[in-house]
Amino acid sequence: MRELLATQKANGGWSDIDTMESSVYATGRALYALQVAGVPASNTAYQRGVQYLLKAQQEDGSWFVPSRALAFQPYFDAGFPHGYNQWISAAGTSWAVIALSYAGGPAGTTVAAR
């Protein structure tokens, strides 16, 4: 847990490797891991991650994650936003929603007003 906390970027997010910029995918995954490890959502690092995710959310409610994969499969549109990047963006959106669901308050409240 300490190692994960130590890799948080200045902008509140996490990256897949130290030399990369923060991403929604890595940040959502890191916040989930912290929650599983028992770090409360009220923790400062967790809240910084939440703010990173909220700032990165798109107008349509999704999160954009650029693909790093080589195009070896034929492209087809599954209906999720972000075109060629839709598959990794769908996964990143899932991690973001999971992380934010842990950050919510009692039933009927929201993480932050948008």
Give the model confidence (pLDDT) of 11-51 as tens digits. Answer: 999 999 999 999 999 999 999 999 999 999 999 999 999 99
Identify whether 92 is part of a domain: yes
Identify whether 109 is part of a domain: no
Identify whether 30 is part of a domain: yes
In order of 17, 70, 114, the CA distances from 54 in angstroms are 22, 29, 8
3-state class of 24 per DSSP?
A: helix
Show the domain range for 39.
2-67+77-103
CB 106, CB 39: distance < 8 Å: no
- Give residue 70's pLDDT: 73
> Hey, which residues does 14 pair with through a beta bridge?
23
Residue 68's Cβ-count burial label (10 Å; 0-12, 13-18, 19+) is exposed
pTM of the model: 0.85
Identify whether 49 is part of a domain: yes
Identify whether 114 is part of a domain: no
Identify whether 51 is part of a domain: yes
CB 6, CB 12: distance < 8 Å: no
3-state class of 25 per DSSP?
A: helix
Asked whether the predicted pLDDT for residue 113 surpasses 70, the reply is no
Count of domains observed in the chain: 1
Identify whether 84 is part of a domain: yes
Identify whether 54 is part of a domain: yes
In order of 35, 44, 77, 114, the CA distances from 47 in angstroms are 12, 5, 34, 16
